A and B are shown apart, each in its own frame.
Chain A
Amino acid sequence: AQTVTQSQPEMSVQEAETVTLSCTYDTSENNYYLFWYKQPPSRQMILVIRQEAYKQQNATENRFSVNFQKAAKSFSLKISDSQLGDTAMYFCAFMKPREKGGADGLTFGKGTHLIIQP
């Protein structure tokens, strides 16, 4: 079974700073998908970024980027120029490849509560 570990239960940074949230996972699969979801106080789950394991290039979405280290099974999220609206819970998630049961759902980490201070 896959496991996803987020070792930082809570982080706090000043507005405009850069912050990195860590995520490690355990799998025997070679191809898979990784996600970061954001949950603001409104409790809505919002996809931040997605990475396919077979792609070498790290995914980026505006101020959000990942550092994907496949050999180390690490998938960290970097938020640049952090804003007050980035305050949220952030969840890292893993999905097996489709042909190996990927449609069975995502496995989530326990989350990191990120607080952006003014």
Chain B
Amino acid sequence: DADVTQTPRNRITKTGKRIMLECSQTKGHDRMYWYRQDPGLGLRLIYYSFDVKDINKGEISDGYSVSRQAQAKFSLSLESAIPNQTALYFCATSDFTGTANTGELFFGEGSRLTVL
């Protein structure tokens, strides 16, 4: 099984619908991130979290919200989806508490969202 699991893998929805993308990890990492990937734009940070009580906005947080339900779970919500939120969304984790911290991000397999 994957260390970082995202659901759903693919989703098609309509404008105005509420969408939740879920992420769970078995790596025991403290840091979790949501990135958005668009063709020609690379990956951009939406939100990140240090623990269940710590949520931080990234570069492009408008139109999104997150919830860190537990150390292992971090969900991304689109309250009212719009077509320009059509993208590939990645959840990632990182371990900044261990002495072997390398800064490496460990990614889920991505959730492709299409908003019609």
Contacts and interface: CB of A to CB of B under 8 A. Distances in A.
Interface of A: 4, 6, 9, 33, 35, 42-45, 47, 50, 91, 95, 98, 102-111
Contacts of A102: 96, 103
Interface size class, chain B: 20 to 34
Given A43-B110, A50-B102, A50-B104, A105 B48 contact: yes
A45 to B, nearest CB: 4
For the complex of A and B, 3 pairs with smallest distance between CB atoms: A45-B107, A110-B42, A108-B43
Interface in B30-87: 31, 33, 35, 40-45, 48, 50, 56, 58
Q: Report which residue of B41, B43, B48 has the largest number of chain A beta carbons within 10 angstroms of its beta carbon.
A: B43
Contacts of B105: 45, 47, 105-106
What is the predominant secondary structure among interface residues of chain A facing chain B? mixed
Given A33-B103, A45-B107, A108 B42 contact: yes
Contacts of B31: 103
14 contacts: A4-B42, A9-B40, A35-B103, A43-B88, A45-B105, A47-B105, A50-B102, A50-B103, A91-B42, A102-B96, A108-B42, A109-B42, A110-B42, A111-B42
